[in-house]
Structure 1
Amino acid sequence: MTQHVRDIMTADPVTVEPQTSVAQVARIMRDEDIGAVLVTEGDTLRGLVTDRDLVIRSICEGGDPEQTTVAGACSEDLFTLEPDEELDHAVQLMREHAVRRVPVVDHGHPVGIVSLGDLAMERDPESALGDISVARPNT
C-alpha cells in the first residue's frame, strides 16, 4: 500500500513571524518540545528555523537574542512537499538535499512538517533512530 506524506507528517506546525526574537523562538521550542518552527509571513511560508540554526546563525554571532530576529537565522532556500506526495519521494528529497525536516504545504500554505524521525518511526520503528524519536526528552 502506498503511503503519503500526510500519513506521517506532524500537522499544524508551530509558526512564527520573521520579526520574532531568537529568544522567543527558543522558548517556544522548549515549551513545545520541538526542534524546528516554520517562519511565515501571514499564511505564506518564508523559512524554517531549527534549534541548531539558532545557535550557529544567531547566538554564535554575539547579538542580543532578545533583539535579534529569527529572519536572519532561518533557512530560506527550502524545498517543500505536498501532503499527497508519496513517502518514497520524501525520502529521496531528504537524501538528495541532506536535510532532516521538510515543510509540507498545501496550495502554498504550510500544513505540516515531515522529519527524519517521522520516517524512521514509520519505516523502521525498531531502529536506533526510531527509538530515539519516540523517547521522552532528557531535559
Structure 2
Amino acid sequence: MSVEDALREAKIRELPLSPPVCVAMGTQVGEVLELMKRRRAHCVLICEGEHLRGIFTERDVVNKILGLPVDLRAPIESFMTPSPVTLHPEDRVWEAMRLMDEGGYRHIPLVVEDGRVAGVISVQDIINFLAEHFPTEVFNLPPRSRQVFEAPEGA
C-alpha cells in the first residue's frame, strides 16, 4: 500500500491520539498558560460542558500574548479562536491533512455528532503515523525539500 493510499484509507480514530486538554469558558488566560506548560500541551480546547466553543494554541500565545500588555486574569475567550474548524473521529487522515494545509492549522479538534469533544489531531500525530507505518520512506527523505538523491546511501 502506498503512503497516499494509507492516508486516504486510515480513519482519524485509528491514530494513537493524546487526550485533549480542556478548560471551561471563563478560565483566566494565566491559568491556561500554566496548564499548557504543566501538561506540555500545544493547544487547549475551550468547552462549555462537553461542547467545544474554541481553541487556544501555542500560535495564539505568540501572536496574541507575548510581548503585549496582557492581563493574565482576562478570560480565555478574549484570546481563543471561537468555533474552530472540526473533524469527526471517523473522518479520514487525508481530510485532516487537507484542512491543515488549506487553513494553516496544526491542530484540529475532533467532535462527535452531538458536538461533544472527542479529541484533537495534530500535525505531529500525522507525522508519527507516517513514521510508524512507512519508516523506510520517512527516514530516507532528503534533508532538504528540493534535494534529490541519485542513489541510496549507506550499507
Aligned-residue sequence identity (percent) comes to: 27
Structure 1's 98 and 9: CA in aligned 2 closer, same or farther, altered over 3 A?
A: farther
Distance in 1 of aligned mates of 2:35 and 2:48: 18
Q: Give the Å deviation of 1:78.
A: 1.3
The reply to whether residue 122 of structure 1 matches residue 134 of structure 2 is: no
Structure 1's 20 and 80: CA in aligned 2 closer, same or farther, altered over 3 A?
A: same
Which runs of 5 or more structure 2 residues have no equivalent in the other structure? 1-5, 140-155
The code of the aligned residue for 1:74 comes to M
Structure 1's 99 and 13: CA in aligned 2 closer, same or farther, altered over 3 A?
A: same
Q: String of CA shifts for 1:80-119, please: whole Å, max 9, x gaps.
A: 1100111111111111111100000112111100000100
Distance in 2 of aligned mates of 1:9 and 1:110: 16
The reply to whether residue 81 of structure 1 matches residue 87 of structure 2 is: yes
Q: Superposition pairs for residues 1-139 of structure 1, below 5 Å?
A: 2-8=9-15, 10-65=17-72, 67-107=73-113, 108-124=115-131
Scaled by the length of structure 2, the TM-score of the pair is 0.74
Structure 1's 97 and 52: CA in aligned 2 closer, same or farther, altered over 3 A?
A: closer
Which runs of 5 or more structure 1 residues have no equivalent in the other structure? 129-139
Distance in 1 of aligned mates of 2:33 and 2:108: 19
Distance in 2 of aligned mates of 1:49 and 1:9: 22
Instruction: Decide which structure has the larger Cα Rg and report it.
Output: 2
Aligned length: 127
Q: Give the Å deviation of 1:77.
A: 4.2
- Report the 3-state secondary structure (helix = DSSP H, G, I; strand = E; otherwise coil) of the residue aligned with 2:117: strand
Moved over 2 A (4+): 9-12, 58-61, 124-128
Distance in 2 of aligned mates of 1:42 and 1:60: 32
Q: Give the Å deviation of 1:60.
A: 4.0
Scaled by the length of structure 1, the TM-score of the pair is 0.81
Q: Do the aligned partners of 1:58 and 1:72 also contact (CA within 8 Å) in 2?
A: no
Distance in 2 of aligned mates of 1:55 and 1:70: 15
- Report the 3-state secondary structure (helix = DSSP H, G, I; strand = E; otherwise coil) of the residue aligned with 1:10: coil
